[in-house]
Amino acid sequence: MADSSFLDWPFFEARHRAFAAEVETWAVANADRLTEHHDADGSTRALARAMGQAGLLRVAAPEDGKLDVRSLCLAREILARHSGLADFAFAMQGLGTGAITLFGSEELKREVLPGVRAGTTLAAFALSEPEAGSDVAALAMTATRDGNAHWRLDGEKTWISNGGIAGSYVVFARSGEAPGTRGLTAFWVPGDEVAVAERIEVSAPHPLARLRFEGVRVPDAHRIGAPGEGFKLAMATLDVFRATVGAAALGFARRGLDLLLQRATTRQLFGAALFDQQMTQAAIADAAVDVDAAALLVYRAAWLKDQGTPRVSREASMAKLHATEVAGRIADACAQLHGGLGVVRDSAPELLTREVRALRVYEGASEIQRVVIARAERERM
**363 Rama class: left (phi>0) / alpha (psi -120 to 50) / beta:** left
Angle, CA of 223, 229 and 230, to the nearest 5°: 70
Residue 118 C-beta-side C-alpha neighbours within 13 Å: 9
216 near 194, Cβ under 8 Å? yes
Q: Are 82 and 27 in contact (CB under 8 A)?
A: yes
CA separation (Å) from 91 to 174, 289, 368?
26, 26, 21
Cα four-point dihedral sign 151, 128, 82, 2: negative
Nearest to 220 by CA among 189, 192, 260: 189
Residue (of 84, 247, 83, 57) closest to 168 by Cα position: 57
Alpha-carbon distance 120 to 65, whole Å? 19
Q: Report whether 286 contacts 256 (CB < 8 A).
A: no
Question: For residue 344, is it left (φ>0), alpha (ψ between -120 and 50) or beta?
Answer: beta
> Within a 10 A sphere around the Cβ of 1, how many other Cβ atoms?
10
Cα separation, 36 vs 335, in Å, equals: 22
Query: Which helix (DSSP H) or strand (DSSP E) does residue 126 occupy?
Result: strand 123-126
Are 354 and 203 within 8 A, CB to CB?
Answer: yes
The catalytic site residues sit at: 363
How large is the angle between the packed helices 69-82 and 230-266, nearest 10 degrees? 40
CA 270 to mean position of chain CA atoms: 43
